[in-house]
């Protein structure tokens, strides 16, 4: 009986071998695997984050160029509006600035709101197109690498190159090159700045009437 009691008592205490935890080597292996997985996840996250940031910059650049071109197109098309029949140049030749005049209120002059508009390129950082309606130059389109315009005659080919030929201006060819707001270290051309170029030939409806 005592033998059985001892045997039963011994059965109540499982061996220490059954309670053993992870060994130091097992912990080190688990930590190494975890670090590898964490590094891989961080690499994927960083890559996706960079790609998203680049695409966001490109979309913003394209939107800026398109918005600027759309607004200039609308305003240039009304240049030369002259219901009172007074004498003025709807788009006078100027190599440094693009100007347009229109008698929108029909009072015989171009002193009213938005009857005179001037676009100029500011080549200092942040490289932008500025718009002036008589109250001073205001920011119009940021991160613009270049803004050029050519005055054309009615054939759409021959350029007007002097103010003496103002009466023959019938079209304007505008080219806008926008760039991303920040450089991409993985993009080597142009100092890391991606660019987007738009060109449009605009025909004001009232010139030559």
DSSP string, 105-169: T-SSSS-STTSEEEEEEE-STT-EEEEESSS--EEEESSEEEEEEEEE-TTSSSBP-SGGGGGG-
* pLDDT computed for residue 4 by the predictor: 45
Region 81-97: mean pLDDT is 94
pLDDT in tens, 21-33: 678 787 788 788 8
pTM here is 0.74
The number of residues in the chain equals 209
Answer whether 110's CB lies under 8 Å from 103's CB.
Answer: yes
Q: Kindly state the greatest CA–CA separation across the chain.
A: 131
| pLDDT, greater one: 191 or 46 | 191
Give the C-alpha separation, 202 to 200, whole Å.
Answer: 6
């Amino acid at each position: 009986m005592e033998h059985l009691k001892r045997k039963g008592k011994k059965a109540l205490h499982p061996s220490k071998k059954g309670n053993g935890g992870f060994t130091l080597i097992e912990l080190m292996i688990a930590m190494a695997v975890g670090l590898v997985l964490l590094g891989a996840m961080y690499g994927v996250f960083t890559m996706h984050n960079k790609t998203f940031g680049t695409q966001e910059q490109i979309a913003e650049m394209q939107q800026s160029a398109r918005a600027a071109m759309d607004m200039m197109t609308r305003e240039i098309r009304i240049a030369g509006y002259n219901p009172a029949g007074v004498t003025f140049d709807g788009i006078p030749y100027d190599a440094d600035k693009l100007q347009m005049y229109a008698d929108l209120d029909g009072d015989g002059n171009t002193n009213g709101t938005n009857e005179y508009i001037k676009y100029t390129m500011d080549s200092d950082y942040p490289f932008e197109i500025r718009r002036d309606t008589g109250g001073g130059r205001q920011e119009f389109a940021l991160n613009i690498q270049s803004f050029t315009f050519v005055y054309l005659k009615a054939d759409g080919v021959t350029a007007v190159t002097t103010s003496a030929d103002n009466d023959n201006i019938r079209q304007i060819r505008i080219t806008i090159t926008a760039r991303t707001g920040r450089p991409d270290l993985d993009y080597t051309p142009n100092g890391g700045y991606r660019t987007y170029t738009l060109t449009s030939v605009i025909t004001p409806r009232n010139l030559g009437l």
